[in-house]
A and B are shown apart, each in its own frame.
Chain A
Amino acid sequence: MTTTDTRTPQAPQVDPAKVARPAATGDVDGSPGVPLQRLIRVELRKMVDTRAGRWMLIVMSAISLVVMAAFLIWGPSEEANYSELLGLTSLPLVILLPILGIMAATSEWSQRTGLVTFTLEPRRGRVIVAKIIATLMLGLVVTATAFAASALGNVIGSTFGDGNGAWDLTWQVALGVTLAFAIFVLQGLAFGFVFLNTPFAIVASLLLPTLWSIAVGMIASLAEPSKWLDLNQVTDPLFSGSMTGENWAQLASSTGVWVLLPLAIGAWRVMHREVK
C-alpha cells in the first residue's frame, strides 16, 4: 500500500525559512480588500499577457490604420478631412470595442481563472470595478490609435492625394467620439457579465441591436420609441458633434437599457454565481 515513498531515501528538500512560516502581515489589518489600484494593475496585465489578448489589442489598434490605407488607396480622397477620416475609423471599432469588453468580462469564467481571482479577492464587486476601469483604459488606447491613424491619414491624404487636409475636429466631436467608444466598451462588459460566456455574449451583443433595428423597420409604431432605445442611432450625433438636449436624453435612455441595465444584472450574477 505505502510503496510510494519508500524509494526516496533523501529527506525532502525544504528550506523552512522560505516556506511556510506563517508570517503576520501588515495587510491583515487596515481597510478590507485588496487596494483597487492593485486590482486594476492585475486586470490590465491579464488582458495583455496572453497571445489572444495581445493580438486582439494589436488588431483593434491596427484596424484604424488598415481603414486609413484602404481609404487613401481606393476611397474618394477629395473628401478627406480629419473628422471624415475619424468617422471612417470608428465604423469597425463600434463593432470591435464591445468585444474587448466581452473578453475582459468573461475571461475568468471561460478559462476558470475566477477560481484564483475570487479566492484572492472574495469581494467580487471590487474585481468588477477594477475590470471596468482597466477595460476602459485599454479602450482609450484603442481610441487614441484611431485618432492618431486618422491624423496620419489626413496628412498623407492632403500631401500625396487631393484631400483638403482640414483639421476640422471640434472638441465636441473629439469628446463625443471618446464617449461613444466608452459606451460601446461598457456595453460589451455588461453583456459579458450577463452571459459569462464569450461566444453567447458576442452573438447577443451583435444580434440583439440588429434584431431591434429590423423590428423597428418592420413595425411602424416602434419608430418613435426606437429613437430612445437604439444605441447606434442615438450615438450618431456624438460622432457629428451635434448633440441637442433631446439627443442627450435619448442617449441616456438608450444607455440605460443597453448598458446600465445589463451591467446591473451582470454584476449581480458575478457576485452571486458559484465559481467552479
Chain B
Amino acid sequence: MFRTALRNVSAHKARLLMTVLAVMLGVAFVSGTLVFTNTISDAYQKSSAKGFDQVDVAVRPEYQDSRGDRVGRTPELTRALLDRAAAAPGAASATGVVTGFTAIAGKDGKLLGDGWQSAGGNYWGTEDARYPLVAGHAPSGRGEVLIDARTAERAGYQVGDTVRLSVDGPVLTPRISGVFRTDDGNVAAGGSLALFDTPTAQALFGKKGTYDEIDVKATAGTSQRALKTALDEALPAQLVETTTGKRLADDQAEMISTSMSGLKRSLLVFAGIALFVGTFIIANTFTMLVAQRTRELALLRAVGASRRQVTRSVLIEALVVGTVAGVTGLAAGVGIGAGLRSLLGAFGASVPDGPLVVTPGTVLTALAVGIVITVLAAWLPGRRAAKIPPVAAMSSVHAKATTKSLVLRNTLGALFSAAGVAVVLAATTMDTDSAQGPMGVGAVLLVIGVFILTPLLSRPLIAAAAPVLRVFGVAGRLARQNSVRNPRRTAATASALMIGLTLITGMTVMAGSLQTSIDRMASSAIRADYVVSMANRGPLSPDVARRLAGVDGVTASSPLRNGASRIGGETEYLTGVDGSAIGRLTDLKVDDGSFTVGGSRIVVDKDRAREHGWRVGSRITAHFEDGAARGLTVAGIYEGNDMFNGIMLDNEVLTPHLADPADMRVMVRTRGGASDGAKDRLEKALGSNPAILVQDKKDISHDIARMFTLMLNMVYGLLGMAVIVAVLGVINTLAMSVFERSQEIGMLRAIGLDRRSVKRMVRLESLVISLFGGVLGIGLGVFFGWAAGELLGTKMPTYELVLPWGRMALFLLLAGVVGVLAALWPARRAARLNMLAAIKAE
C-alpha cells in the first residue's frame, strides 16, 4: 500500500502542488516567526548581558507606594549613600547613575529618531568604564556633552560641533566634547544617548544631588553575592534595595523574552489563521483526489485491500505531502526570519547583531505542524475513500459528487450561526471587560456556523449575480451553474477566502470607527488652537507654559500639571490647570454643577464622582506629596475622555505642594485661531526646540490617523498570508473542476464554443466563487466590527460606527482580482483541452 500511495503522490504532482504550497506557506509563517523571535531575543539578551558587565551590585531606591495619608515619595540616593556604598568591604568603586530624556536635533534642526528612544545620562567623573570614549574627552558643565557613536555617525556630528538638545523645555546648545561607544540596548535599537557630567545631568533631569541608581564594582576576588551582603549591611534597608549584576542581567533577559513572547504569540495567531485556511484546501484536494480515483480505489478493494488499508493509503499520501510541505516550509521560514530581521534594520530599528537561531524546537514544530495539519485534513476524505464499494471498479462513469442531503448540515449551521449571533449580541450589552470572552466565543461560533451554511448560502447569493453574468451569454450562464454544482466544494473554497476578508474587514471597520471617534473626541473636547507636548509624551518643564503664556497673540493658555495625592486613603492623580483659562481651552460636557476651577473649587469626571460617591458640593480633603492637606469642594462633574479626566484643580493650589512640577501638555489659544504664523511664533518662543511638539487639531488628527494606518497596514500584511493561501485554494478548485468536466468542455468545444468563451467560463466561475467568499467575509467583518464597536462605545461617548465603504469596495474588488488571477492557469488549461480525448466516453 505504501508503494501505491507513493506512486499516487508522484502521479498527481501537479494537483498536489497547490496543497503543498498552501501548507508550506503556513509552516513558513510559523517557523519564520519562531526563527525571528528567537534570533532577536537571543541577540538582545547577549547585548544586554554585556551592558551589565560594569555592574556587580546595583543599589536602587526602595520604592514605596505610600505611608499613611501621605503620597509615597521615593527615597533619594544621595552622595552620602554613594560614599557609604563605595566604602563597603569588597567594593572597588561606586558609580552614580542619572538618567532622563534628552532629545538631540539633527543638523536640520529636527529631532533625531522618534522621541521615544532619546535618552540622556551622566558621565561619571573623568573616565567612566561604562562608556569607553572613541574620541574627545569627558564633558564638563552645561556647555559640553557626549553623544553615542552611532548617533554621531547617523547625524554627521563630530567632536567640537555644537548640537541642539532639549531635556524638558529650554533648548541647550552644548559643544560635543566627545563620542563614546555603548552596548546600550536602546541605542542598539536605533535610539540616541547623550551624556553630561554628573552635576549637570542631575540638574537637567531634576534630580539635584541624587542618583537613580548606584552601581558598585567589586574588588578582584569578591563575589557579587558577597558584595551584596556587605552592601545590605552598610546601607539602610528601608531606603534602598540591592541587586547583583547577574540578577539584573537575568531579569532583563526574562523581560526581553516576555516581551518577545507577546510578539511571538500574536504572529503565531496570524500564522494559525493561514494554516486554518490551508486545511480547507487540503481537505478539498484530497476529497477531489479520492473522487477521481474511485475506480482505482475500488479496484484495490476488489483485489483484496481492506478498508483500513485504503484509508491508510490516503493518509500516507497526506503524510508525504505534509512532510514535503513541512521541510520546504521550514526552509522558507528560516529565510523569512532572516528577511524580517533585515527588514527591521531597513526601517531604522536596528537590531543587535547575532547569529540566526534555528532551535531544534523550531524544526520539530515546523515539521509537526505541516504533517499533523495535512494528515488531519485528509482524514475525512480518507475515511470516505474506504467506503467505496469494490463494485464501483466495474462502473464506467466518474464517481458523482455526493448528493448527500444538506439538511443535517444546514440545520447544524443554522444552529451555530444563531447561537453565534445571539452570543455576540448579548456580549454587546455587557460591560466592556467581561464581554470580551463571550464576544470571542460568539464570533467563533458564528464563523463556524456561516462556514457550515455556505453551501446553502451559495445558491441564493450566486443566483443574485445572475443578471450580471447574463451579459456574458452562455459562458456566464454555464459559469453560474458550474459554481453551484458542487456546493460543498464551492463553500470550502469561498470560506477560505471568507476568513481572511472577515478579519481584514472587521479590523478596518473597527480601526476606522475608533480613529474617527478619537479624532472627534480630540476636536470636540479641545477649544484650544494648539496643544504643546514633549516628543516622547514625557513631562514638560513648567518653564514651557510660562513662555507660551507670554507669546504675542496668545489669549489663553493652561498647562495640564501632574500631581499625586491621597484622598480617602487612596492615591488619586490630580490635574493642575489654570483655573481662569481652562474653560476657554476645553469644551467638556458638564453633567452637573459648573465647570469652575479656582481656589478650593475643583471639577471631577463622572466615573470618579460615581466611584467616590461625590456630588456637586461634596467636600473632600486631599493630602499632597509634601504631606500638606487641603479641603476642596466639587464644583462640577464633567464627562471625561482619554485626554481629560480625573480631578482638575487650580495650579495655584497644587504647585506649591510639588517638589518638581512637570506638565503633560500645555493648551494654547491664539487670537484668530490656528495659523502658520501663530504656530511659528509659539515654536520660536520655545527656541525652536526639537523635543517639543506644537500641534494644532489637524496635526493631532494626523498623528492619530498615522497610528491607525500603521497598525492596519501591519494587520493587512499579516492577514495577506491567509488571502494568498486562499488564492491557492481557488486555483486548486478550478483546476480540479476543469479536470472533472473535461468531457463537458470537450463537448462544448465540439458544438462550437470557442476557446475564448471556454476561458471566460472558467474565469467567471472563479470570479463568482471569489466574490461569494468576499461578500460573506465583508458582511461578517462588518458585523464583528459593529459588535466590537458596541463594546467600545460604552467607554467612548463619541464612538460611532463608520463603515469604510471605499475600503469595502476595494476588498470586494480585491476578491474579484483574486478570482481572475486564480483562474489564469485553469482557464488556459480548459481552453487547451484536447477535444477528442475529452469527448471519448471514458
Real binding pair? no
Residues of B that sit less than 8 Å from A by CB? none
